[in-house]
Amino acid sequence: MDIFKDADIKFVSFRKKSYLLSGIIILIGLISFLIQGFSYGIDFAGGALLQLEFNRKDVAIAEIRNVLGEIDLAGSTIQSLSDGEFVIRTAQTELQERQKILDVIKERIGPFRVLRLEIVGPVIGESLKRLTALAIIFAFIGMILYITVRFQFKYAITAIIALAHDVLVTLAVLSLLQKEITIPIVAALLTIVGYSINNTIVIFDRLRENLKLKPQVPLPEIINLSINQSLTRTTYTAVTTLLPVLALYFFGGTLSDFAFVLFIGISVGTYSSNCIAGPMLLELKKKGKISAKSVSIINQEEKVRKKEIKVTKKQKKKTKLE
């Protein structure tokens, strides 16, 4: 069912408001980053490693996590090795605090034997961080080449701007709320990039078709038409994606932060595909970066047509006065 069959939303008309809104959010995120930075999880910052073997063999991960939550360590990584044996990675703590953790666990869950207790470095080292950054850069370059070959270079520019927008807004939210950045969060950010680019390409496909099928229509109207025609598909895709993400957020336990980032990213990605990527093509045209001959001819013909209409109206007014 096409719920937006007759939609005529003027996305191009309120593009400047969209740019302003996005700019304000990103600016607030930048200020937050400068003041309080990001909250890095154990995977990035390192911490303490505890390997415990409980006398009880029916101890569950959820039980340990609930106990750690009482001392503000619910974000710790807990791995089950066998019945009653676990490896717990917590944030960096002092010796006295580590002893407090052990005491609380013993009091709430029961006696155990400490198999290992040591300070560990971050899972993601500096070299791996650099490799991750390079991988993202090469992925962006690959997207630019793909979109340039499939469409034109101007489409690639707007798509990458929209992608950067999605990532920056999501990072702004993470910094403002001080959500811990862990390996699952990084995975969620990469997922957002893939989701957003797919949505944008669908709109670009429709835009390219409409430029061929409606050569007499001005570019702003073509952009609005293309986005409106894709709106039903975009909405269905977003809703069907967000439903399992919301389920994961409410019932996913330790994956709730992962689901939260996906929710923000998918919502922002849907917004940027409609309100940023498409309308920004018009900005590039104004700056002379769109060289498509057909678009230039369309706009020239439209100007001539508008002048003819004005002349005709003036002639009719003169005739009435006479």
Q: What is the mean pLDDT of the chain?
A: 80
pLDDT tens readout for residues 157-205: 888 888 889 989 999 999 999 887 877 888 888 888 888 888 888 888 8
The number of folded domains in the chain is 2
Domain of 238, CATH number, reads 1.20.1640.10
Give 229-236's long-range contacts (Cβ < 8 A, gap of 24+).
Answer: 230/202, 230/203, 230/206, 231/4, 231/7, 231/9, 231/274, 232/2, 232/3, 232/4, 232/5, 233/202, 234/199, 234/202, 234/203, 234/270, 234/273, 234/274, 235/3, 235/4
Q: Is the pLDDT of residue 87 over 50?
A: yes
Quick check: is 214 in a domain? yes
Do both 293 and 169 map to the same domain? yes
Cα 6 to Cα 167: distance, rounded to the nearest angstrom: 32
Domain of 89, CATH number, reads 3.30.70.3400
- Per mean pLDDT, which of 79-83, 108-112, 281-285, 286-290 is the most reliable? 108-112
> Hunting for tokens 């309120």 — which residue is that?
14
What was the pLDDT predicted at 154? 82
Do both 86 and 149 map to the same domain? no
Cα 306 to Cα 218: distance, rounded to the nearest angstrom: 11
Cα 127 to Cα 124: distance, rounded to the nearest angstrom: 8
Rounded to 5 degrees, φ, ψ at 161 are -60, -45
What radius of gyration, in Å, describes the C-alpha atoms of the chain? 27
pLDDT tens readout for residues 46-81: 677 788 889 888 888 888 888 888 887 777 778 788
Cα 276 to Cα 65: distance, rounded to the nearest angstrom: 42
Do both 171 and 26 map to the same domain? yes
Q: Which range has the worst mean pLDDT, 27-31, 172-176, 234-238?
A: 234-238
Angle at the Cα of 95 from the Cα atoms of 58 and 91, rounded to 5 degrees: 65
Helix, strand counts (H, E) of the chain: 11, 6
Quick check: is 319 in a domain? no
- The DSSP line for 135-189 is HHHHHHHHHHHHHHHHS-HHHHHHHHHHHHHHHHHHHHHHHHHT-EE-HHHHHHH
269 CB neighbour count, 10 Å cutoff? 32
| Cβ atoms of 273 and 166 closer than 8 Å | no
Range of the domain at 211: 15-38+125-299
Residue 244's pLDDT band (cuts 50, 70, 90): very high
What was the pLDDT predicted at 127? 63
Residue 311's pLDDT band (cuts 50, 70, 90): low
Do both 191 and 97 map to the same domain? no
Strands 180-181 and 39-40: parallel
| Cβ atoms of 202 and 278 closer than 8 Å | no
Do both 228 and 263 map to the same domain? yes
CA-based torsion, 157, 11, 209, 304: positive or negative: negative
Do both 95 and 207 map to the same domain? no
C-alpha to C-alpha distances, 17 to 116, 173, 267, 275, nearest whole angstrom? 57, 20, 18, 9
Q: What share of the chain is helix, strand, coil (3-state, %, to 5)?
A: 70, 10, 20
